[in-house]
Chains A and B, each alone.
Chain A
Amino acid sequence: MKRQLVAAFGCGSLFAIGLSVSGMTNPSKVLGFLDFFGRWDPTLAFVMMAAVATHAVLYQMITRRSAPVFAAAFSIPKQRGIDGPLVLGSALFGVGWGLSGFCPGPVVTSLASGGQSALSFTLGMVAGMAAYGLLQRQWRGRATAIAART
């Protein structure tokens, strides 16, 4: 367990360094990348290309192992179909991303040095996640109650 914590801390630090080096922690740059219909700045496309290429190769090598180094099994979600919540949630995500230039990894990385705007965004993000979690619990409770009655 302790080794897992150290590993997670190290991976988080490396992830943050990658995000900051790449330009993803600069919201104006991110907005420039999303400005397809205006003055498009394609630089950040290279971030995704490099990250996907690296992870795609390493993913294949890693998942050939029977188990990860510090855990009993890999926790990889089973592939489900494409559904309404996936598209609606992603659409909403894009609206918030396009309004601000922030997404979860870069904003947490920017909390110490990104000033007031990273704080405001994180406040909204955590509130949104918490509210969704509470609603989901209520829906589940209601669904179970209905199932028990019928």
Chain B
Amino acid sequence: MIRFDSVFKRYPTGREALAGVSFQIERGEMAFLTGPSGAGKSSILKLIALIERPSRGSVVIGDQNTAALKTRAIPQFRRRIGVVFQDHKLLPDRPVADNVALPLIIAGVPEREIDKRVRAALDQVNLLGKEKSLPLELSTGEQQRVGIARAIVAKPPLVIADEPTGNLDPALALEIMRLFKRLNDVGVTIVIATHDVHLIEQFPSRRIVLGEGRIDAITPPGARASTPNAGVTP
């Protein structure tokens, strides 16, 4: 589903966020990107969602080599990826239902179907009945669940999440993680960037540990992944 080959990412500021990262995540897998702040977790997610392009190396999502993708084709590409943010990125002046419906509206799904699918998505995150609330009327945990509902409403085969539990207390964080696990159980590929190692100990999934733009370790070791030093320039 996701393959990084010797990926380098240097930002215009000169900061090198990724220095030769290679890994592979299979379809239907759930994987955690961990490591301290600035290790390159967010950069990897941005490269997956095509918010950034790699400076060097190749990123293949699905069967699509992202380097071959023209700017014009990016919107269509992003519709097949659900993205969850630490700060939710909800539209504060729109009710929950409109926020969740946004990807469907953008994709031009007919109205009747939108209602149905929005309710189904809200049901999955246990927020049925909150359709008309504004995001700010909800708790942080609920807002995060609205964000997840928005990410899954268009049934993308891949969902990526950047520190989805960053602002939540441990109980809420666990609940959100279980929600991702349930999604994964129905076949969605999930990639979650988090620094909360204690939380993910409870989930026996692939772990890609980053440090200073390189991969320090990939567990379980049986997983297919290349060594961190592949293609690294001195």
A binds B: no
- B-to-A contact residues, CB < 8 Å: none
